[in-house]
Amino acid sequence: MKEFDRVTGAIGETQAEQYLKKNKYKILARNYKNILGEIDIVAKQKDTIIFVEVKKRETYRFGRPSEAVDEFKQHKLRKVALYYLKQFNQMDSPCRFDVIEIVGDNLNHIENAF
C-alpha cells in the first residue's frame, strides 16, 4: 500500500472515531488485528458491538468508497469479527457491521451495511 493511502486511511479512521464518540459510541478498539485480518474500529452502542469499516477517498472518481466493501471483504470482516467475539467472550452480544465512508469532508455512516 502506498504511504499516501496509509495516511489517508489513518485520517479517515480518526474522523470516524471522533464522529462515533460524538454520537455516544464507546470505542473498544481501533485497528483490531488477529491472525485472520483487521477491523478498523470496534465500538459499542448500548449493548450492541459494532464492527466498523472505514473508507476514505478524496473524490468520487472511482465510485463511492463503500463500494470497496465487496462480498470478499465482507466475508473477511465477518471472520475477524467472529474471532473477536470468541476472544473476548462476547458470543451472546448483539452485533452489526457498519461502514463509514468519507469523501473530502463529507462523512456518511451506513448502519447495518451488511
In this predicted model, what pLDDT tens digit does every residue of 4-52 receive, in sequence order?
577 778 899 999 999 999 999 999 999 999 999 999 999 999 999 999 9
Domain range annotation of the chain: 3-110
Whole-number average pLDDT of the chain: 94
Task: State pLDDT tens for residues 40-80.
Answer: 999 999 999 999 999 999 888 989 999 999 999 999 999 99
Q: How many CB atoms lie within 10 A of CB 56?
A: 21
Evaluate whether the domain defined by 3-110 bears CATH number 3.40.1350.10.
yes
d(CA 94, CA 54): 21
Report pLDDT for 71. Answer: 97
Report pLDDT for 1. Answer: 45
